[in-house]
Structure 1
Amino acid sequence: MISTNGRKNVRRTHEIAPDEIFLDSSNLLDRNERQFEARVVRPVAPRAIAGIGIVFAMILVLFSGRAFNLEVIRGAAYADISRTNRLDRSVIFATRGIIFDRAGRELAWNDTSSYTPGVASDEVLDTSQASLEKFAKRRYTGLPGLSHILGFIRYPKADASGVWWREEYAGVSGVELAFNDALGGINGSSMTETDARGKIQQQNIILHPENGRDITLSIDAQLQSKLYTLLSAHATRQGFQSAVAVIMDVETGELLALTSFPEYDNVAFTEGDSAAIMEVSASERAPLLNRAIAGLYAPGSIVKPIFAVAALAEKIISPETQILSTGAITVPNPYDPSKPSVFRDWTVHGLVDMRTAIAVSSDEYFYTIGGGYGAQKGLGIAKLDEYSRRFGLGEPTGIAILGEESGIIPTPEWKEQVFGPDDPWRIGNTYHTAIGQYGFQVTPIQAVRFTSAIANGGKLLVPQLIASSTPQYTDLQISDEYLQIVREGMRLAVTSTRSDATVKSLNMSGIQIAAKTGTAE
């Protein structure tokens, strides 16, 4: 640098000359790394390093002081606060699925008017009953005749301290029990932190609930309700204690109506109405019994079509062969010849072939093909048992509702078990079995099932409660020729002009009905 007084004054400067910058730029362009040795590097000032150190030291002192304050000076106080805070798990109840009938009518649904779905059950820690019921209430249709098919549930329950000892809706009977897993869904949960005063500090959902699935039944609610109304009115007029009716699609197995009289109030059972529950439980009419699946009845003559099919399949008799009905058959008594055994028909029918025997329900005809009489060979008890089981008797039908009874088919083994070895099987026992008596017991759903198999050509269907279910059945491997003969006999029971035809009252224009009566004795 040149001074103004003409003297050369050389002094240290911190400025960088432009030629040095140009020199570095040319070095960068030529990528000659050796020339970087000529760069001027400005060192970090010691004062700056000292400043940074001071800042870090101050931060360290600040954090250390804060930690000392929390751990030593106020540690006991914070420990007390920590001990008084609570971290609780709360249930978020899944919404139960809705039950619809085949036409989309709601039969069972949820009342959420006093409950917000997705809110934790213990969001407000209040032990009053109102606060403990943090779930949707179940509601049922007011249509009569549906309580047995729908069933009822039990609600979640909490103790006085708010601890839930039952966290699920529990199906108890009917569809509510049969499809409980699908309807129930999966509960969620949240964690709630509260202070000593019970005030919520924070709440986090840790598992969202999965709501239950809706289901659509094969049942037509209006049809079933009307059927129940007619059934109950008729039973009351006749002085009957109970009655049952079932309607099933003979091709698919879908149940359109399944009702039992008397019924019970499933709302009262769901709500835990003690007075109503005690009244129903004490009733001699057993309103809780679903007679369609658990009522056991002597089938009487409704099993005669099964044994007619058996006689044809086993070549015991031809459909045209006639048997004379005189009103009774007499069998010698080997223990006391002076007192022969007499097995009576309900009336004198004269000569009857198979179709006519079914139409007039001739007991003598079925005594003969069942156990044999005179020159006519009979099926025998082993074949009666075999074909009864082949048509689904003596075992559950497979309907989804729980509580189904299997029924009883009389056999020598059954008799020995019930009456002991000193009372052997006799021909009269076979005769009575052939007309559906003598310990024979079936459920109404079994009767509907085997009758459907005769109607549909030999498919023994599993009764279905869910709409549009894929039909499930067992092929009976019986010639439809034999089944057709039986169908004609059942149709003749309606259309025959004979005075002893059994179901002439069902002969209506525009509707073709085939039927078989049965009387329990």
Structure 2
Amino acid sequence: MLRFFQSRGYQKFKIKRRSKDIDTEEIFLDALEHRKDKGAYTMETALSQRIFQLTFGLFLVLIVFFFLYSFNLQVFSYEEYSAKAESNKYLSKQINAQRGIIYDRSMNQLAFNAQQFDLIYYVDETLREKEIREVARILEIPFYELMENISQKESGTLLVARGIEKEKAIILKTKEKELSSFELITKNTREYLDGNNFSHILGYVSGDTFNGEAGIERQYNEYLKEDPGVLYIERDALGRKIEEEIIESPKSGNNLVLNIDFDLQKKVSEYLDEVVSGYNASGGAVIAMNPQTGEVLSLASNPSFDSNIFSKNLTTAQFNQIVSSPNVSFYNRAIAGEYSFASTIKPMIGVAALEENIITPDQSIYCDEKIELSDGTFKSDWKFHGWTDLKKAIAESSNVFFYHLGGGYKNFIGLGIEKIEKYLQYFGLGKLSQIDLPGEKKGLIPNPTWKSQLNG
């Protein structure tokens, strides 16, 4: 055959190859390359029918699962998820209003409105870790602790921090666009010009509800109370604000002017404190009134408390420590203290004796230093008075004189228990004075029934 090609002149078409000597190391390299590329010359084997069926079946199951899940979301759970989406899209925000201001009779401002910065988080389906981490850094609180608190809340808002320092509040305010899931809100707090000396008059408001809890703040809470407004906000899927509208406008509370005189109240409170300390007494009370009008110009009770402490973020332990202090008392002795009448009823007994014709204005009674009672005991006077009429008896506060008028002595017939009770009731004793402060007690007029119940 070869000769045939040679004889036919096809020799000129033969490919000429160049020859070259092969080094020993190239032989080994060629062997390595052969092993490396061995897989390239291997024929692919077709998948078995069983593996193909299993793969197809799994793929079919996944398609059916996603179809059913999608069907459930769109049909059975549509209303639930639609409501969630709607609640995440729209939210309402409170617009603060101002509580009414309290003034004294000279228009000195006694109660002020201040501001407190709180931070809230709008809870939705997405936990925005980047924002949460940044807030934790600014507030200097553990990130994972904040993350856990937020993750436990399913919907609505979560109070993240209360009473934030002004410097941190400014930082949060400058980053409000970056921290769209959070909002820095301004909350009203109450401050008082002289929290100690006016505490039993003004009282205080709750730090949470901003409602009056004691004193004038409680008595006139509805009059002083503000009516917050409502702001309606629409957000996009990323929580960014799209539009807002005021649904209800805020309304401030009414201002209140008291009959109390600031300067007089301050002096009376300071004087009462000196007297209580000087006598090492457990407490005391003073009320100064205008006898012509009945206006209360000063009302002090000792010990007192500082109304301003309730504007702070007190823990339960701190609050308990304050209220358990012997120098702090929420008990208003001026209106709730039930004490013996002592010499305060002597003028009333004198009026009753005149009304019952037991004595005349000029009639005198001999008043020794003591008087012997029917049971053989003696009641002493604070000094010897001698012959005494009603004016002198009131001026010198003679005990023996009014013992005569009240219970009688020897041949002198006095008022007796029943008439004393009747006339004391005429003067309003044993009844509420209707002072516009909460917690008033009406007191007690002793009588035979009370005494028998007391002794069993």
Shorter-chain TM-score range = 0.5 to 0.7
Among candidates 123, 128, 131, match of residue 160 of structure 2: 128
Cα deviations by residue, 1:170-209 (Å, 9 ceiling, x for unpaired)? 1000111011001103222233333443323332222112
Q: Match of 1:418, as an amino acid?
A: L
Instruction: Name the CA distance, whole Å, in 1 between partners of 2:251 and 2:100.
Output: 11
Structure-2 residue corresponding to 1:387 = 423
Cα shift at 1:132: 7.0
What amino acid does structure 2 have at the position aligned with 1:128? V
Provide the TM-score with structure 1 as the length reference: 0.57
The letter for the 2-side match of 1:136 is N
Compared CA separation, residues 375 and 267, structure 1 to 2 (3 A): same
Q: Deviations over 1:331-374 (max 9, x none)?
A: 444xxxxxx23333233221111111112222121111111122
DSSP 3-state at the match of 2:233: strand
Q: Which residue of 2 aligns with 1:324?
A: 366
- For the pair 1:137 / 2:189, whether they are aligned, the reply is yes
TM-score scaled to structure 2, two decimals? Answer: 0.65
Deviation (angstroms), 1:133: 5.3
Any gaps of 5 or more consecutive residues in structure 2?
Answer: 1-73, 123-155, 163-182
| 1:150-165 paired onto structure 2 within 5 Å | 150-156=202-208
Contact 1:368 1:378 survives alignment (8 Å): yes
Match of 1:90 in 2: 93
Displacement after TM superposition at 1:319 (Å): 1.7
- What is the CA-CA distance between 1:98 and the residue it aligns to? 0.8
Letter in 2 for 1:100: Y
Q: What's the counterpart of residue 372 of structure 1?
A: 408
- Paired residue secondary structure (1:225): helix
**Structure 1 contact 94–184 (Cα < 8 Å) conserved:** no
* C-alpha deviation, 1:296, in angstroms: 2.0
Retained in 1: the 8 A contact 2:304–2:327? no
Rate the CA distance shift 1:140–1:286 in 2: closer, same or farther, 3 A. Answer: closer
List aligned pairs for 1:232-381, cutoff 5 A: 232-274=273-315, 276-284=318-326, 287-333=329-375, 340-381=376-417
Shift of 1:135: 2.0
Q: CA separation in 2, counterparts of 1:175 and 1:382?
A: 37
Partner of 2:40: none
- Structure number with bigger Rg: 2
Contact 1:324 1:351 in 2 (8 A): yes
Show the counterpart of 1:49. none
Residue 485 of structure 1 is matched in structure 2 by: none
What runs of 5+ residues in structure 1 fail to find an aligned partner?
1-74, 157-167, 334-339, 421-521
Deviations 1:455-514 (A, max 9, x none): xxxxxxxxxxxxxxxxxxxxxxxxxxxxxxxxxxxxxxxxxxxxxxxxxxxxxxxxxxxx
Counting only pairs closer than 5 Å after superposition, residues 124-203 of structure 1 correspond to structure 2 as: 127-130=159-162, 131=183, 134-142=186-194, 144-156=196-208, 168-203=209-244
Amino acid at match of 2:114: D
Does structure 1 retain, via aligned residues, the 8 Å contact 2:196–2:307?
no
RMSD of Structure 2 on Structure 1 (CA)? 2.9
Matches within 5 A, 1:498-513: none
Q: What is the aligned partner in structure 2 of residue 464 from structure 1?
A: none
Could you tell me how far apart the structure 1 residues matched to 2:115 and 2:121 are?
Answer: 14
Q: Residue 245 of structure 1 contacts residue 260 of structure 1 at CA under 8 Å; is this kept in 2?
A: yes
Give the letter aligned to residue 419 of structure 2: K
Q: Which amino acid aligns with 2:285?
A: V
User: Aligned residue for 1:42?
Assistant: none
What is the match of residue 141 of structure 2?
none
Conservation of the 8 A alpha-carbon contact between 2:226 and 2:251? yes
Structure-2 separation of matches of 1:417 and 1:220: 43
Tell me if the contact between 1:85 and 1:193 (Cα under 8 Å) persists in the aligned partners.
no
Greater strand share, structure number:
2
